[in-house]
Amino acid sequence: MTEVWRNWAGNQSARPAQVTAPGSVEELAATIKAAAEADRPVKAVGSGHSFTAIAAAGDAVMVRPDRLTAVRGIDRAAGTVTVESGLPLHRLNRLLAAADLSLTNMGDIEVQTVAGATSTGTHGTGRDSGSLAAQIRAVEIVLADGSVQTCSATENPELFQGARLGLGALGVISALTFAVEPMFLLSAHEKPMGFDEVLGDFDELTAVNEHFEFYWFPHTDRCSTKRNNRSQGPAAPLPKFKAWLDDDFVSNTVWEGVCRVGRTFPGSIPTIAQVASRAWSERRFTDQAYRVYTSPRKVRFVEMEYAVPREAATTVLRELKALVERSDWRISFPVEVRTAPADDLWLSTANGRDSVYIAVHLYRGTRELGYFTEVEKLMTAHRGRPHWGKLHTRDAEYLSSVYPHFGDFTALRDKVDPERRFANDYLRRVLGA
Ligand SMILES: Cc1cc2nc3c(=O)[nH]c(=O)nc-3n(C[C@H](O)[C@H](O)[C@H](O)COP(=O)(O)OP(=O)(O)OC[C@H]3O[C@@H](n4cnc5c(N)ncnc54)[C@H](O)[C@@H]3O)c2cc1C
């Protein structure tokens, strides 16, 4: 019997029928053909960092990423790197740095696999630069019939539109080509600000900074803001001890202890929030881009995140604050707010509209008590689009109403996977049968 697979947050599990870790595109194609002959579903997993059951492979052949991690090559003239789909982002970041290159933008962590991260639309924050999937220039994917297809903006463009951010529904990606640029430094400026001040200045803060984001601490009027902008140098990284103290010890070890106290004594959370929100002081540093974008996250939580149209963002945030104030919830985790420019990926949360991401979290094991349910109602009242890898309850009917190209994606799926080789319960819910 196979072992039970669990995701990072521990809120999803599945026992696959079979587990395999192909080491080449040929082995991957053979795996998919064999599964088709045995009439078994196939599910590729990345690093299990999705909170939804999108990667759950119950009863399926689970394709692990561990042996598909080679670097196929860097093309300096084209400004691209091609890597196999199971390569974790932290390895990609370091190999690019060694070649004096960098991705343009990325999310908060770097442990996901490249295909896992892009398949759910993983994003950071950016005025001009979008998600990781928006940085893909070509995809190599094995389809349900075992054929290996390559696609780009000019070759097989329809498949490219779907497969860059395909929810694992179209096939198993074997390799991805990303756009890269010469390595650059980012200057980070982190600063506490009041909630009303941030919202009042939101248009300006997001217009003058390349990467602006903030955390609002529920039960307080305080926020921690972050501005990251390109710098000509010199590099001025945080001293190693300070970086460890702030971004690992305080953000992980101390925070874990604080969250445990809050879970056991929810009544203490507003006081904890007051103290925690004051603990973040102003700081500045300049470092290689990926070191500024990402930091270790060890405290386990569950998360819901919605993208709302840019113009609705401050209204939604004010309503969210009022909702928390009216409730008797005790929320220890800050609410994270990020931005993205409109893009053209069919299932991107930022498709066709400038977007603001609003993310709510609960420490693992905390009773939900309606926080996510009510926040989701608020987000959907503003035509919000849920992150595909973060908790939500939306189905195909709702999603087809907020994604203009939903029908294009499902038509492509009908064409390349008519027998639903790559389906699971989550995909049946969000895409329809
Ligand atoms: C601590 C933490 C921090 C996070 N920070 C961010 C953030 O800053 N921004 C953000 O947007 N998200 C963030 N996320 C969400 C996370 O980036 C996404 O859920 C991402 O999809 C996880 O990647 P993974 O490699 O773990 O893939 P999994 O979760 O294992 O899989 C995700 C999807 O990819 C598919 N897939 C995997 N490999 C392949 C393949 N080879 N071919 C086809 N499909 C494949 C799976 O079938 C599944 O559908 C965070 C999550 C956690 C737990």
Taking the chain (433 residues) in runs of 10, the rounded mean pLDDT of each run is: 94 97 98 97 98 96 98 98 98 98 97 98 97 98 98 98 98 98 98 97 98 96 96 91 74 78 82 76 94 91 97 98 95 95 98 98 88 98 98 98 98 98 98 93
Give residue 274's pLDDT. Answer: 77
The full set of domain ranges for the chain reads 74-182, 185-386
What kind of fold does domain 74-182 have according to CATH?
3.30.465
Say how far residue 272 (Cα) sits from the centre of its chain: 28
Structure tokens belonging to residue 38: 């045995």
Cβ neighbours of 179 (radius 10 Å): 14
Residue nearest to atom 20 of ligand 1 (CA): 117
Is residue 340 within 8 A of residue 354, CB to CB? The reply is yes
User: What radius of gyration, in Å, describes the C-alpha atoms of the chain?
Assistant: 21
Burial of 298 (0-12, 13-18, 19+ CB in 10 A): exposed
User: Is 118 within 8 Å of 133 (Cβ atoms)?
Assistant: yes
pLDDT at 97: 98
The CA distance from 282 to 301, in Å, is 26
Buried b or exposed e, range 104-137, using 16+ CB within 10 angstroms: bbbbbbbbbbbbbbbbbbbbbbbbebbbbbbbbb
Contact indicator for 45, 64 with CB cutoff of 8 Å: yes
Q: Which atom of ligand 1 is found nearest the CA of 122?
A: 11
Residue 271: the pLDDT is: 83
Amino acid 366: pLDDT: 87
Which atom of ligand 1 lies at the shortest distance from residue 422's CA?
47
Find the residues whose C-beta lies inside 6 A of ligand 1: 8, 43-50, 54-55, 65, 85, 107-109, 112-113, 115-117, 119-120, 122-124, 167-168, 172-173, 297, 387, 389
Distance, CA of 350 to CA of 344 (rounded, Å): 8
CB 321 within 8 A of CB 195: yes
pTM: predicted TM-score of the whole model, two decimal places: 0.96
Q: Domain 185-386 belongs to what topology?
A: Vanillyl-alcohol Oxidase; Chain A, domain 3 (3.40.462)
Amino acid at 34: A
At residue 21, the pLDDT reads 98
